[in-house]
Amino acid sequence: MRDCGHVAACGAGSQSPYAGGMSIPRLAQAGRFDPERLFHPGSIALLGAETGLGGLIHANLLLAGFAGTISTKVASGIDLAVIAEPAERVIAAMEALAAVGCFAAIVASDAPGLPDSDVAAAALRTGVRVIGPNAFGLAATAIGLNATNGHLPAPAGRLALVSQSAGLCRTIIDWAGPNGVGFSHVIGLGRAADLGFAAALDWLSRDAGTGAILLDVHAVKDRRGFLSAARAASRLRPVVAMRSGGRWADPEGRADRVFEAALRRAGVLYVESLEDLLSAAETLARSRPARGECVAIVGNAWGPTRLAADAVLRLGLRLGSVVAVETASVASGVARALATPDVGGVLAVLAPDGDVPVFGSVDRAPPLLVCALGETTGAARRRALAEQGVAVFATPEGAARAFLHLTRDRRNRLAARELPDRLVLSVAPDRARVAGLFAAARAAGQTVLCSADSATVLSLYGVGAPYADSITVRDDPEFGPTIGFGAAVGLPPLNMTLARDLAEGCEAAAEALVRVSQAIVDFPEIAALQAGSIQLRAAGKAAEPLAIMPYPADLIAGWGDGDDALIIRPIRPEDAAAHAAFFARLSPLDIRFRFFSALRVLPAEQLARLTQVDYAREIAFVAVRSATAETVGVARLARESAEDCGEFAVIVQPDMKGKGLASALMRHLLDWARAHGFREVVGQILADNAPMLKFVRALGFTVRRLPDDPEVMEATLVL
């Protein structure tokens, strides 16, 4: 059973974001890529074990104690292949794997002569999805898997690391052991010609053994896929990211500011250095989320305690109570500070004296960070505190900065909850007149509007001096359209909450930013805005898609009347509570048909995944009562971004069956699928779910029994 479940009882479909695209020619039509076989394999084939690279990976596989089978040739029954072959044999290896039904591979080969486009094309043609080329590989400590070319095994723990750099993977693993930090996964993507950050994040966001995720990002190829997966992951666990080479590529630093803005919208904490990444790893692995932004300090000596207070204030954090007590009283002092309602976290500062306070019994509702100074005895004290599960640092400045990471993570998660509509202005501008001005400029062979026309367009959107001259719009190579205000950069679409953050609380500036954002959404042909002058894209040049999809409010529709008057609309994150209540009203049979198991409640992580969707690659329509906002039905469709086939699900609560609601939801779903380029929609249905089988046949689906599972039928509709 896949993590997202299967649907029946007025529902069908496996809701994996890796739905197979059956309209793409495959060498093995019966097989599909399953992320579990990549990230949690039961059997592995190492191809190229005789090479130097292959020999190193083979030794790592054997020493890690992998419980599954390991072979060195292509054979049936393989979950995952690790390809260490010379570059010229990689594509042939992928074809051979497809022929035996293995659709997951890691291309560890250093293949500078093998274009990424060739690997991506082979992945589409064969159906074999790959990490790499030049991949560091995969370590999954829970199953004793070390399919990497690293010099050390990754210690076990709850951090996950995803990086494009083998060197940084080795560095972070080397740092982790002596610092008491361990990993659930280390995923080295290499050049990421096929699968990249989105696939890794989708898996890690569902992995119960992962507590926090570290990302080392060099380049993003699929902006929407990356941000979508990052947003989904960050709502379930902390995610921290850094980017190497950003300032090198753009000395002005705008690229890094855009990267930070994009991550903020996804709820991801951005850090600028390896030191901060490792510090954040220490913090997030052992600390609870910040409850607020006020820091209380408890120390065992006034000098170091005062240094910590200075460090907190220099970082712009709010300082609460500051006390110094005997070492034996530090734990009780921390407990009192943690119990103070307005305290967001506590920093304990320990000057060397040989004693190790015990914090294990402290209620850590807010986070507790500890600074244990010194090296001769301080290092041993830090190790002892780490064994208690405490986030511990060597300097007051490091501990204060760690708390700053927690507060920024808190802010970013709040920002990620903001989901602006496509239309956010209460008074619509004269869009026809704006379109006419743009058309006139193009007819005159101009891409830059004259100052008068630029001013007219901005005034039609309610943007006047001085903000018209203070706001900039330009495309970022990785994340598309951006909006700048002074040194701050944001991504459209914006609402007032997001714009206030960008404008540092200035209400008038925030309103102007929202209005410019609306203009960008309305007219993607706007390429730039600088000093009040609007530049259009060259004729025939495609518009850059927004990195973050607006909420599709245009899809909201009414259905039914009287007591059955409903609104059908795309799901929103705030629907989580109503969705849980809807699940509770389903019968046990409905639940078995829907999830292929007897769930009693929806786990919190799955509930978040079902209600927090990216509207570019998946959709969920809910039917809610107009009078009470009660959810009474839902239909959803998910696809893999590289393919044009989606897996559907539809279910309604018992009192709404037989009224045509399921059909209405499916019509919305199929209309959306056609509009977004789907060619096929599929779903899996239990063979004893006769009502659902009748329902999908009436909608035009063809139904077949799955050859490898006689209890499951697959319904397919060609659009």
Per-residue confidence (pLDDT) for residue 26, from 0 to 100:
29
Tell me the pTM. 0.82
Clarify whether residues 644 and 592 are in a common domain: yes
Per-residue pLDDT reduced to its tens digit, 558-613: 998 887 899 999 998 888 889 999 988 888 887 777 666 666 777 776 777 788 77
The answer to whether the beta carbons of residues 162 and 214 sit under 8 Å apart is yes
Clarify whether residues 400 and 447 are in a common domain: no
Last residue of a domain, one of 273, 307, 328: 273
In a domain, 385, yes or no: yes
The helix (run of H) or strand (run of E) holding residue 686 is strand 680-686
Give the domain CATH number at 171. 3.40.50.261
One-letter amino acid for residue 646 of the chain: G
In a domain, 422, yes or no: no
Clarify whether residues 369 and 468 are in a common domain: no
Clarify whether residues 601 and 682 are in a common domain: yes
The 10 Å Cβ neighbour count of residue 582 is 22
Per-residue confidence (pLDDT) for residue 61, from 0 to 100:
96
In a domain, 420, yes or no: no
Clarify whether residues 648 and 519 are in a common domain: no
In a domain, 64, yes or no: yes
267 burial via Cβ count (<10 Å: 0-12, 13-18, 19+): buried
Residues of the chain with pLDDT under 70: 1-31, 360-364, 425-427, 594-599, 605, 640-643
d(CA 104, CA 553): 38
* Strands, sheet with 526-530, edge to edge from the N-terminal-most edge strand: 488-490, 480-485, 471-476, 526-530, 533-536
Clarify whether residues 269 and 299 are in a common domain: no
Last residue of a domain, one of 273, 295, 315: 273
The answer to whether the beta carbons of residues 201 and 232 sit under 8 Å apart is yes
In a domain, 278, yes or no: no
**Nearest alpha carbon to residue 305 among 322, 290, 288, 330:** 322
Give the domain CATH number at 520. 3.30.470.20
Clarify whether residues 261 and 367 are in a common domain: no
In a domain, 123, yes or no: yes
Per-residue pLDDT reduced to its tens digit, 600-622: 777 776 777 788 777 877 899 99
Residue 32: C-alpha distances to residues 44, 68, 135, 378, 476 (Å): 17, 21, 22, 54, 35
Per-residue pLDDT reduced to its tens digit, 623-660: 999 989 999 999 999 875 446 788 898 999 999 988 99
In a domain, 24, yes or no: no
Per-residue confidence (pLDDT) for residue 1, from 0 to 100:
25
In a domain, 496, yes or no: yes
Clarify whether residues 326 and 238 are in a common domain: no
d(CA 186, CA 206): 15
Per-residue confidence (pLDDT) for residue 14, from 0 to 100:
38
Clarify whether residues 85 and 210 are in a common domain: yes
Q: How many domains does the chain have?
A: 4
**Nearest alpha carbon to residue 372 among 395, 355, 402:** 395
Clarify whether residues 440 and 344 are in a common domain: no
Clarify whether residues 207 and 294 are in a common domain: no
β 712-718/702-705 pair status: antiparallel
Alpha helices for 612-704 (secondary structure H)? 661-675, 690-698
Give the domain CATH number at 662. 3.40.630.30
Clarify whether residues 529 and 564 are in a common domain: no
431 burial via Cβ count (<10 Å: 0-12, 13-18, 19+): middle
Last residue of a domain, one of 273, 306, 331: 273
Domain that holds residue 185: 33-273
